[in-house]
Amino acid sequence: MKDALLGSLLFAGATVCIAGAETVQAQGNMSFFITSMGKGDGANLGGLAGADAHCAVLAKAAGSTKANWRAYLSATQVPNGAGPVDARDRIGKGPWVNAKGVTIARSVDDLHDTANTNLTKANLLTEKGTTVNGRGDTPNTHDMLTGSDSAGRYLPAGVGTDTTCGNWTKNAEGSAVLGHHDRNGPNSNRNFTSWNASHGSQGCSHEALVKTGGAGQFYCFAAD
């Protein structure tokens, strides 16, 4: 009886260890996530380079084995004066998996295909494998910084307006195009709710982003 009980306990322990190992492996192979936190200064991310670095820091802390992380952000130009920069051209070719090993997209085209049913609140997780609040949650933080249209390209601003908070260097005046990670809410760019292009922010400060429905978070992809 004791041997049987000990065997059951050992087996149960082995199962827990295996499950833990699978979780660690999934996070090690993770190639997509939503930042669990903003960079701390509204939409001023230190430009594209600063946003990429933030992705890399969070990924490493979560146990990722990948090094070439890119923020899914478009911009009017990069420091050398070239531009515009399209988010879709920064993130590699895919496929991309979340912190639980679920494939969210097989390729760039699949990522931007309206028929892709994997782009959901349940699958668009942080680097820690946690869900991000959406519409109906308190607080609602479904707004993701992108500066992009639904195809993942830079969305030109009208006269006197902004779509990238000054190429991700402003934390006061200006605006940024936001997507809804839960795909819930209006989309002024296309006729469907969009994970990467839904509406503009009310400003570039942290307070303005919160007021709009976000927390300064954005998408990160491994471009390996």
CATH code of the domain covering residue 184: 3.10.100.10
pLDDT band at 185 (very low <50, low <70, confident <90, very high): confident
User: Is 212:201 a contact under the CB 8 Å cutoff?
Assistant: yes
Q: What is the pLDDT of residues 7-34, one digit of tens each?
A: 333 334 443 334 455 656 767 899 999 9
Q: How many residues does the chain have?
A: 224
Please check the confidence at residue 116 and state whether its pLDDT lies above 50.
Answer: yes
Query: How far does Cα 49 stand from its chain's mean position?
Result: 16
Tokens for 10?
Answer: 């050992």
pLDDT at 79: 60
Residue 4 is predicted with a pLDDT of 44
Tell me which residue of 68, 4, 5 sits closest to 32, measured CA to CA. 68
On the question of pLDDT at 172 being above 50, the answer is yes
pLDDT digit string, tens, across residues 55-71: 999 999 999 999 999 99
Domain that holds residue 153: 2-222
Tell whether the model's pLDDT for residue 80 goes beyond 90.
no
Q: What is the mean pLDDT of the chain?
A: 86
148 beta partners: 154
Q: How many domains, in total, are found in the chain? A: 1
Q: 3-state class of 70 per DSSP? A: strand
pLDDT at 152: 96
Mean pLDDT along residues 102-123: 96
Q: How many CB atoms neighbour CB 5 within 10 A?
A: 9
Average pLDDT over residues 168-197: 82
**Which pLDDT band holds residue 6 (cuts at 50, 70, 90)?**
very low
Burial class (CB in 10 A: 0-12, 13-18, 19+), 20: exposed
